[in-house]
Chain A
Amino acid sequence: MQRRTLRGAMVVQALALLGLLFLVPRISESIAEVAKAAQRELAGTSTPFVERSRPQSGEEFGLPKFSREVVRMLRLLGLKDYSLSSWLRRELRTHQRIIEGAWPIPYNDDSPNLFLRKTDRLPPRCEIRRAGRDIVYAFCS
């Protein structure tokens, strides 16, 4: 009933749509981006699904290099908890990414398993057990 009485509803909507498309470039960009992703999927040029389903897949994109190395060493060594050097703790992004990347292995300030950069000074009563490219694992008594 109202659709007959309210004049121009469709015209107004069409105008609003055109205006939005014209004024908000993000709309057309989003459509293009989604279409491009689908095209890559169909052409088989995107990361294969098998690869995307593998545990820990994609960490290389999300974790900064120090965080990645700490997380990998933690898993490799099968440690129950860990602590970080003051530099790694101060670097907020690296620190946070280590904590979420290493989860469920908990961060513990009092842990004897210390990770530090190769260039960091080794604290007293700590012994280097393993050295990676940029990160060192030390056991502190």
Chain B
Amino acid sequence: MLFAASLTLLSAFALGLPWTRAVELRCWNLQRVGLVLGRGLLVGYALGLLTPSLRALPYALAFAVLAQLVLWIEGVLRTGLPVYLDRASFRPIDGLGCAIAVLLLALLFSKILADPLVGWDARSIWFFHAKILYFADHALDRTIWLTRSISFSHVDYPKLNAVWSALWMMHSDGWNEFLPKFSLLLLAAPTVLLCLGFSTEFATRALLLAALVFRMGSTLWDGYMDGLLACYAGLGVLYGVRFVLHGASLDLMTVSIALGMCAGLKNEGMAVAVCTLFFMSLGRLWQLRLAQKPLERPSRETVVTLVCAFLGTAIWIGWTKLAGITNDLVASDSKLDQIRDRLSDGHSLDQIWTALITSEEQSIIALVLATAIGYWLVNWQHFKRYRPALAFGICVPLAYLAILLLVYLTSPWDLTWHLKYSASRTRLTLHACFAMGLLGPLIAEARGPLAARHERTFRGLRSESRY
């Protein structure tokens, strides 16, 4: 099983490799590795939705690995073998980061596969959809998803986890309650890599792992998507802050992959993606205006990554619209009346607010706010330069909070019941965005500049080799 697990992980990685400059630059920092793996998972999602046979897809993935090998050889030949073998152009490998990543993923592997699927969402939504795909062998089939008896399982929800779980289970003898959960590790792997790849500083890594990975607790391994969604939303905001500050295309690609994952995991993820992309664009434009620089033209790699990130989601949303599959939250009428009633009853808004911001979260927000305020008091002379990044970091969680309030105010269900079963998980994403939005500008500068230095060195070597 370990062999099959490694093969699946490698296939996902290989799927993400085409049109990346990572091979050409040999720039294998952990952010790059996480980015390529995330991209592979999202490309696999799109392929899994489109393929007429999921059972045949692993063979296609094997073909992708081979094709990648050919591309790599072509890249080596094009660059020139002596340059490629020159040790000076190799980026120093982040040994500690790699060791921590392998250890954490091994630990998560043992935890994820230790227990069977038990929770309602895990059994009746996420892995039930995976089971449906596993037996149906293809995804876009109206007759399956519109079956009346399965309408309880929210069939309109995104299928990123379901596709990868079904694909992985094609290796096994039959469906069961333990093995499908391996998809959780596949989806969690980029979060660990991106947390570790953000910086080479130990304190930053520990902070990100604690605040984004371990903070999610059991939602990372019990088959719910909320923990993963919160991790990716937090990472999207964190890398978004750095993109607003510096405008590096690697960060933009990382943001798009993190947001693509959010959109592929849950419907709420689409809201996070829209908010983050909107405010990030505004923040970057503001930053460029402050620095009096022109707008950068995105590279081919960036455009391809952006397309890959949202391709699966676009296919799924487009298809559900065509097939007439609707979400139960938007299926009710008289939304405005409902909002008016709940706003005027005097307790609904309060009830939503206390469900989303509990006393524990209040103390965390107070801590993060105090840290941020103290920090900017000490660094007041640099505050102006950081205003766009800070504004972005604050606007995203506030916009998301507004969306959540709207969702709960218009909920067709009994509000107490709806909040009881969802607020504890929905607020994870909100708080991850809030924490990363406020802490992001503080830690955005704690980046090891090794990757950039390496890219410069290698470019220099390439230009020398031409003469």
Contact = CB atoms under 8 A, between A and B. Distances in A.
Contacts of A93: 120
A27 B128 contact: no
A103 B179 CA distance: 17
Contacts of A26: 214-215, 217
Given A10-B446, A53-B179, A24 B215 contact: yes
A37 B77 CA distance: 47
B178 A52 contact: yes
Interface string A60-93: 0110000000000000000000000000000011
B107 A56 contact: no
A96 B368 CA distance: 42
Interface in B340-388: 360, 363-364, 367-368, 371, 374-375, 378-379, 382
A107 interface: yes
Contacts of B152: 92, 96, 99
B197 to A, nearest CB: 16
B174 to A, nearest CB: 3
A23 B177 contact: no
Contacts of B128: 100, 103
A37 B124 contact: no
B439 interface: yes
A19 B203 contact: no
Given A20-B207, A53-B173, A106-B149, A31 B445 contact: no
B203 to A, nearest CB: 5
A9 B443 contact: yes
A17 to B, nearest CB: 4
A6 B445 contact: yes
B110 interface: yes
B210 A17 contact: yes
Interface residues of B, number: 62
A115 B268 CA distance: 38
A134 to B, nearest CB: 21
Nearest to A39: B110
Interface stretch (B111-119, B273-281, B330-338, B458-466): B111-119
Nearest to B149: A107
A5 interface: yes
A38 B177 contact: no
Secondary structure type dominating chain B contacts: helix
A13 interface: yes
Interface in A22-43: 23-24, 26-27, 29-31, 33-35, 37-38, 40-41
Interface string B196-227: 00000101101100110011111010000000
A113 to B, nearest CB: 14
A100 B173 CA distance: 19
Given A7-B378, A13-B201, A55-B176, 10 more contacts: A2-B445, A13-B207, A19-B371, A23-B364, A30-B218, A30-B220, A52-B179, A56-B176, A99-B152, A107-B149
Given A49-B1, A58-B178, A12 B371 contact: yes
A12 B360 contact: no
Nearest to B108: A34
A3 interface: yes
A103 B114 contact: no
Contacts of A125: none
Given A29-B217, A96-B152, A7 B203 contact: no
